[in-house]
A and B are shown apart, each in its own frame.
Chain A
């Protein structure tokens, strides 16, 4: 390998054995690798610019508008199809081969669009809830209210937020959002399981209130343990005791 060839191997992806052999025998290239390698690495230290929040808002507005445009185009498509179907039916009738075999294709198309809307809401909620910024995760929780109550993925993300989010406001918002999923036994089970591991009194009280709202009598065991726990916050213990009475 010549020095000229070695220069193209100095940056980015690894150079291979020939390159290593060349470096071992060429002091000039070793020096160059060291010098520009330092500069190459130092580019990492330049501050990263962050886009403003309006970029996301504008994107979802644009996506929504685009989808609306698609949806409004569907009836026209259906109309064209209907015209063609009617013509075909008349032709078939005219030929004496029986009645038309038309069907309504717009229904499955609309069902697909509805499914896509639900899918978009799910993706927005899930994506936002994975963001580093707590305010973004809060927005994700807000989007969770727009998800279908049967959406297990959003439910899973909310439960994760309740159990593991580092920000108490996000955890509280996620507890509230779980109400939308009240019909699911998984939600109730997840709330019961979340209660013993919580250490923040505000979140504990919110979870207890949720169990009372759910009229979840199977939570009695967890509530009794909490009410008897001398290490727990007094307010939380009182709330657990109150919940036990309400659920009797």
Chain B
């Protein structure tokens, strides 16, 4: 019987794959694209709420990875490097297209995927409120929550992306969730009144 997926390419670590891209085997970027394009898309859409912009930015990130591949240091965390590129791409686009500090809730709702199962359960109202609360979080707080919760990044990697100490990341994550909590309860009260 054939051995299946024995190719180390598919199982290589991100750092090793990017090191190969950096060394000139640019086709290897396809592996990293398949691993990360969804996560990047979700990062961007969580930050700006616009599907088209998020998709453009995903494209931009992978293009920049190719363009700046020689600057990649294999000793550095790949995800931290990738999100640094993503942040810069987002900032650059923000200069071109003014990114709203607070996302327009209506447009975000339209951009969201088709009604999911959560909308058919009794908690749908809570989730809608939670989403609104997330969208109302200031961008810096939303970003640290997105990176730590949605992207599942380690505090060390987030610190590298944000250019701060690990302790600062922990404090920022705590403050972000507290801010989210306050916004959520405010929205809940508004709804009840």
Question: Which chain B residues lie closer than 8 Å to A43 at the CB level?
Answer: 130, 134, 145, 149-150
| B111-128 near A? 1/0 per residue, CB < 8 Å | 111001010000100110
In the bound complex, what is the Cα–Cα distance between A173 and B16 (angstroms)?
A: 33
Number of interface residues of A (CB under 8 A): 54
In the bound complex, what is the Cα–Cα distance between A186 and B1 (angstroms)?
A: 8
Q: Are B181 and A9 in contact (CB under 8 A)?
A: no
Number of interface residues of B (CB under 8 A): 58
In the bound complex, what is the Cα–Cα distance between A152 and B57 (angstroms)?
A: 35
Which residues of B (84-134) have their CB < 8 Å from a CB of A?
111-113, 116, 118, 123, 126-127, 130-131, 134
Known: A43-B150, A62-B63. A127 touches B45 (CB 8 A): no
Known: A45-B118, A52-B55. A8 touches B6 (CB 8 A): no
Q: Are A46 and B134 in contact (CB under 8 A)?
A: yes
Known: A36-B177, A66-B26. A47 touches B170 (CB 8 A): no
Question: Which chain A residues lie closer than 8 Å to B10 at the CB level?
Answer: 123, 126-127, 130, 153
Q: Are A39 and B180 in contact (CB under 8 A)?
A: yes
A124 within 8 A of B: yes
Of all chain B residues, the one with the shortest Cβ separation from A43 is B149
| A112-130 near B? 1/0 per residue, CB < 8 Å | 0000110110111011101
B59 within 8 A of A: yes
Question: Which chain A residues lie closer than 8 Å to B31 at the CB level?
Answer: 123, 127
Q: Are A63 and B26 in contact (CB under 8 A)?
A: yes
A16 within 8 A of B: no
In the bound complex, what is the Cα–Cα distance between A122 and B113 (angstroms)?
A: 31
Q: List 24 A-B contacts (CB under 8 A).
A: A9-B170, A11-B170, A12-B148, A12-B170, A35-B181, A36-B177, A42-B127, A47-B127, A59-B58, A60-B30, A62-B59, A62-B63, A63-B29, A63-B33, A67-B26, A119-B9, A119-B25, A120-B30, A122-B7, A123-B10, A123-B31, A130-B10, A156-B6, A157-B5
Chain B contacts to A: CB under 8 angstroms: 1-7, 9-10, 25-31, 33-34, 37-38, 41-42, 45, 51, 54-55, 58-59, 62-63, 66, 111-113, 116, 118, 123, 126-127, 130-131, 134, 145, 148-150, 154-155, 167, 170-171, 173-174, 177-178, 180-181, 184
Chain A contacts to B: CB under 8 angstroms: 7-13, 35-36, 39-40, 42-52, 54-56, 58-60, 62-63, 66-67, 70, 116-117, 119-120, 122-124, 126-128, 130, 152-153, 155-157, 159-160, 186, 190, 193
Known: A55-B41, A56-B37, A156-B2. 6 other contacts (CB 8 A): A7-B174, A11-B173, A51-B37, A59-B33, A62-B59, A153-B10
